[in-house]
Structure 1
Amino acid sequence: MVAPIGLVNNNPTATNTSNGTDQTSKTAVDYQSFLRLLIAEMRNQDPTNPMDSTQYVAQLASFSQVEQSVQINDKLNQLLQSQSLSQADALIGRTITTADGVTGEVASVKLYSDGIIAELRDGTQVVVGPGITIQPTKPEAEADA
């Protein structure tokens, strides 16, 4: 009987290209290892005492689950990357205020595997996370009034 093989836990927030490649290769290795293990077991089974058909079906079901899990992880990563890009785009041109009082208009946004960093017009970089207030930027005429 084959012991179950654990899946690599992909980081769902990975947006870094090199990090995503590393995660994909680790998952592919586990997937390939499972296939090699299944084939080796089938080759080395005792011909006088073949594998029970229920065990074979259970292993095929496990194989199918591994394959589906890999595909689901890939799709979730794509979805999370898309969501992060949408959130970052929505920040540009808005005014953000941190919990410690730093305020400014967002000029650009950088996406990292662990979050979003907003760069304000004055060059200050702010990690976008809990405690951040986001507001529409007031036009120049209203700001002076």
Structure 2
Amino acid sequence: MVTGIGTTYGSSTTANSTASTASATSVGGDYQTFLRMLTTQVQSQDPLNPMDSSDFAVQLATFSGVEQQVRTNSLLEQMVSGSNGQLGQLADWIGREVRTTGPVWFQGEPLTLQIDPAAGADAAQLVTLDASGNEVGREAIGTGAGEVDWLAQDQSGAVLPDGLYQFRLDSLSGGEVIGSTQVPAYSRVTGAELSDAGPLLILTGNSAVSPSEVTALRE
């Protein structure tokens, strides 16, 4: 492959060497730089021994391939660093459980919820919502704080189908609601990825939450 850029017809070795160096240093540059190099090469060729047109096609294809590889490597570096290294750090969370107020997946096994009624409440109700935010269950619970197991029952006591659910706690005093808060639940991390909004944790059921939405981590 001819990659030389020269201004003297008789110095092809020096021209080739110069061009190779220029090509190597311009790989990370833009496509316009390469076109200027190619134009110079055409202007400098020996009119009595012109370059075969297929050589130009090879140069264009080679440059395009190398440029794409550089961009791919750059993208891989960004993925590894993942917003100041967050993606690499989140990889350690895969296989562990995080506590989040985002939708979590239920599939037969009880979910662990963190209950914290408002101060002064004499009663509390756990409200179950589906992934669209529709209420599908409500039950009276005690006013104690701590972890409880959610058994996925609706108002009639029937077990809810598999799916994504989220929770709300209504704290009451004298029959009046004095506070409503989102209830976090534990879900297992199955992966981590980058998005336009930053790193995301992928949970069981393919739901995704931002690390900023996580309030606890456990094995």
TM range (shorter): 0.3 to 0.5
Q: Which has the higher strand share?
A: 2
State the structure with more CA Rg: 2
Q: Which has the higher helix share?
A: 1
TM-score (norm 2): 0.27
